[in-house]
Structure 1
Amino acid sequence: MKQRTWPRSATACLLLATAPLAGCAAHGAPSFALFGAYFPFWLTSAIAGVVGALVAHRVFVKTGWARAVPYQLSVCTALGVIVGVIVWLLGTGAL
């Protein structure tokens, strides 16, 4: 019975696909102490982004821009992503 082997391209693809799994293993993930426990900073940025999107939506509704702005979901999501990225950059010292 002949034994099957993986082609080299499949092995290369598998190695490339698993390379990002190392992530922050070498330097540690950005985090801060909150009530004695380490809290991941990406989660803080995500929460800030969601809050930013909600605030943007409320501003649009309150000022009447909601009727004039097309694709409100996309616009508010983009504003939330911008807020989250800015919080991430400020928090990690990259900005």
Structure 2
Amino acid sequence: MLLSACSSAERGPVIPFFGAYFPSWIACSLIGVFGAVIIRLLFIKAGIDAVMPLRVIVYLFLAIAIGLLSSILLFGR
């Protein structure tokens, strides 16, 4: 009863990759980082990046938001 949460029936989402299993949060964080880089390139091209205050914090939160959104959309968590 005390170890029922450790059963193999409720495993976290994993991604099989060349025979190894990686946790889904790694993929979601990479998607978030790449998404933030793409948005940064678009902001530079549009001229928004030059006038944006606190760029590092904005891009950090964009990466987190994209990572969490990809987690919800891809894995339902």
TM-score by length of 2: 0.78
Cα offset for 1:33? 1.7
Cα offset for 1:50? 0.9
CA distance in structure 1 between the partners assigned to 2:11 and 2:68 by the alignment: 20
Structure 1, unpaired ranges of 5+:
1-21
Report which of the two structures shows the higher radius of gyration computed on alpha carbons.
Answer: 1
Bigger relative contact order, structure 1 or 2 (CA pairs below 8 A, ≥6 apart): 2
Q: Deviations over 1:32-51 (max 9, x none)?
A: 22223222111000101111
Give the paired residue count: 72
RMSD: 1.9
Structure 2, unpaired ranges of 5+:
none
Sequence identity percentage: 29
TM-score by length of 1: 0.65
What secondary structure is seen at the aligned counterpart in 2 of 1:32? strand
CA distance in structure 1 between the partners assigned to 2:6 and 2:55 by the alignment: 39
Q: Deviations over 1:63-88 (max 9, x none)?
A: 11012211111111111111000111
- Tell me the equivalent position of 1:18: none
